[in-house]
């Protein structure tokens, strides 16, 4: 009995002394299709606290990311796949398309990731987590293969690209 109490006490002390975990947005790839829809792939790293929360179904990163995307874009978002470090979404009507003399002009909305911070702050473990919502690399790829890239940006501006 004493040994169980000692082990439990040591475990609690270890958890209290453990450094805060971190949610890190690693990469974000947005592939704009010819019809203006997009496939969005988000790679992230979960902290040990978040990994436990996901395991016990307390937190659901892809659901939170889906909600943040829907809020930012104002259109429905579908989760097409999800794993422990990646979530892929499909967004119809992501880019606006206008015909021009030069071809088809694609206009994408700006995205601001800081709104997701409010969602994370709502969890009981928020004080244990350091959040980095600025993807190390963000790539927006248009139908002709043209890419716009951003490094460590918490927001990306609206983009325009004409495909001949």
Alpha-carbon distance of 53 to 64, in angstroms, equals 13
pLDDT cut 90: percent of the chain above it: 45
Alpha-carbon distance of 160 to 148, in angstroms, equals 10
Residue 25: the pLDDT is 81
Instruction: Note whether residue 88 is domain-resident.
Output: yes
Residue 116: the pLDDT is 67
Instruction: Note whether residue 8 is domain-resident.
Output: no
Strand ranges for 55-135 from DSSP E: 77-82, 86-91, 96-100, 103-108, 111-112, 129-132
Average pLDDT of the residues of the chain: 78
Asked whether residue 148 carries a pLDDT value surpassing 80, the answer given is yes
Mean pLDDT of 145-155: 95
In which domain, by residue range, is 97 found? 19-163
Instruction: Note whether residue 60 is domain-resident.
Output: yes
Number of independent structural domains in the chain: 1
Per-residue confidence band for 147, with pLDDT thresholds at 50, 70 and 90: very high
**60 vs 79 pLDDT, higher one:** 79
Alpha-carbon distance of 116 to 94, in angstroms, equals 19
Instruction: Note whether residue 12 is domain-resident.
Output: no
**101 vs 133 pLDDT, higher one:** 101
Asked whether residue 124 carries a pLDDT value surpassing 70, the answer given is no
- Each residue of 23-67: pLDDT tens digit? 678 999 999 999 999 999 999 886 655 445 444 444 566 777 788
Asked whether residue 118 carries a pLDDT value surpassing 90, the answer given is no
Alpha-carbon distance of 111 to 4, in angstroms, equals 50
């Amino acid at each position: 009995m004493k040994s169980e109490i000692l082990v439990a006490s040591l475990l609690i002390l270890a958890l209290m002394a453990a450094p805060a975990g971190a949610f890190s947005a690693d990469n974000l790839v947005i592939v704009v299709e010819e019809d203006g829809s997009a496939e969005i792939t988000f790679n992230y790293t979960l902290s040990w606290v978040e990994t436990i929360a996901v395991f016990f179904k307390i937190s659901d990163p892809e659901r939170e990311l889906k909600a943040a995307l829907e809020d930012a874009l104002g259109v429905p978002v579908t989760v097409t796949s999800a794993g422990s470090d990646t979530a892929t979404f499909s967004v119809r009507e992501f880019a606006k398309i206008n015909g021009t003399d030069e071809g088809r002009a694609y206009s994408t909305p700006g995205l601001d990731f800081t709104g997701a911070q409010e969602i994370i702050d709502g969890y009981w473990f928020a004080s244990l987590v350091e959040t980095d919502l600025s993807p190390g690399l963000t790539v927006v790829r248009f139908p002709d293969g043209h890419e716009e890239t951003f490094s460590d940006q918490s927001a990306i501006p609206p983009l325009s690209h004409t495909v001949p």
